[in-house]
Amino acid sequence: MTIINFTPVSAFIGGLVIGIAVMLFFAFNGRLVGISGIARNFLNSNDKRFDNFLFLIGLILGPIIYQLFSKEAVTINITNSTYLLGIAGLLVGLGTSIGNGCTSGHGICGISRFSLRSIIATITFMIFGILTVFVTNLI
Amino acid sequence: MSKLTSLIAGIIFGIGLTISEMINPEKVLGFLNLFGGWDPSLAFVMVGALVVTTPFIFIYKKQKPLFAESFSLSQKKDLDNKLIIGAVLFGAGWGLAGLCPGPAISSLAIMNISSVIFVVAMFLGFYLSKFINVQSS
């Protein structure tokens, strides 16, 4: 194992900011931020649809506002294979629906509450993420 | 008011994803590349978030939310098949493109066609999940 591109300071600060967002949503709206749940309920349920919609709009505005103030371009390097993106998106949509959570809902909020379900889910999706990267690197 | 606070929480979350660079799939794939050139940054993002959320939720859950009747918290306790199968599928998709739901939606900000394709496929997955019935045990 070699460590590369490690940015601990910006990662930690970004994490604190994410934590503040979770904290506000909990204190004001009484809900924990689970982005897969927010996005799925926006699509599938009438309950709090507009709240969910506005949260998703906020997610998109976040990087735009950051860029406005920092004057730094946001770098995003992403595969351009339509096939790969389609399969990956479908798996993420199905998996987070069936397992009831993603990196935010299980990985941050669930672990904050010491939920055994979320700890197990987080370990599982991390192991399978690591295995997937390992296998794709071989191909 | 809950509408405004939803928007604000979303914006702050999106800024956090941008500062931590988790919006960039390359960083996420670097974290998942444990057996290659490993980038441990994502672990620091989680620690940063947990440092804030763990004590706050613990203390505040005894209060009442400002713009809701009560807290909505999952009461599920059982480790069922759905949890594991879902996490396996999600992990596989996450490892393929380096995108999970939050960063995927935030990355729409740069109007990149790849993000759009991923998000459309993800929403298709949310929709199709209504027709898939995984037995709990």
CA dihedral B47, B80, A40, B49 (to 10 degrees): -10
Please compute, for residue A47, the number of CA atoms within 13 A of its CA located in the half-sphere on the CB side: 5
- Residues in chain A where the model's pLDDT stays below 50: none
Kindly report the pTM of this predicted structure: 0.97
Does residue B136 have a pLDDT over 80? no
Tell me the C-alpha distance between B20 and A16, whole Å: 9
CB A30 within 8 A of CB B63: no
CB A12 within 8 A of CB B40: no
CA dihedral A10, A15, A17, A19 (to 10 degrees): -170
pLDDT at B137: 64
Cβ A3–B40 below 8 Å, yes or no? yes
Q: Kindly identify which residue of chain A lies nearest to residue B123, measuring between CA atoms.
A: A93
Closest in B32, B78, B84 to A129, CB measured: B32
ipTM of the complex: 0.97
pLDDT at B76: 87
Residues of A in contact with B25 (CB under 8 A): 76-79
Which structure tokens are listed for A51?
A: 């709240």
Does residue B134 have a pLDDT over 90? no
Residues of B in contact with A71 (CB under 8 A): none
Cβ B83–A121 below 8 Å, yes or no? yes
Of B54, B51, B30, B53, the residue nearest B42 (C-alpha) = B30
Q: Which amino acid is at B136?
A: S
Beta bridge partners of B37: A2
Cβ B101–A74 below 8 Å, yes or no? no
Tell me the C-alpha distance between B18 and B8, whole Å: 15
Greatest Cα pair distance in chain A: 48
pLDDT at B133: 83
Cβ B65–A127 below 8 Å, yes or no? no
Closest in B45, B83, B110 to A74, CB measured: B110
C-alpha distances in Å from residue A97, one per residue of A47, A52, B112: 17, 16, 25
User: How far does A105 lie from chain B, in Å, by closest CA?
Assistant: 10
Residues of B in contact with A122 (CB under 8 A): 87
What letters, b where the CB count within 10 A reaches 16 and e where it falls short, cover B95-129? bbbbbbbbbbbbbbbbeeebbebbbebbbbbbeeb
Tell me the C-alpha distance between A64 and B64, whole Å: 33
For B87-126, what is each residue's pLDDT tens digit? 999 999 999 999 999 999 999 999 999 999 999 999 999 9
| Pair type for strands A2-3 and B37-38 | parallel
Q: Quick one: how far is CA B62 from the chain centroid?
A: 25
How deeply is A65 buried, as exposed, middle or buried, from its count of CB atoms within 10 A (0-12, 13-18, 19+)?
middle
Cβ B85–A98 below 8 Å, yes or no? yes
Residues of B in contact with A19 (CB under 8 A): 16, 48-53, 56
Average pLDDT over residues B8-16: 98
Please compute, for residue A86, the number of CA atoms within 13 A of its CA located in the half-sphere on the CB side: 3
CB B10 within 8 A of CB A51: no
User: How far does A110 lie from chain B, in Å, by closest CA?
Assistant: 9
Closest in A43, A61, A82 to B11, CB measured: A61
For B62-88, what is each residue's pLDDT tens digit? 999 999 999 988 888 889 999 999 999
- Mean pLDDT, chain B, whole residue set: 95
CB B101 within 8 A of CB A33: no
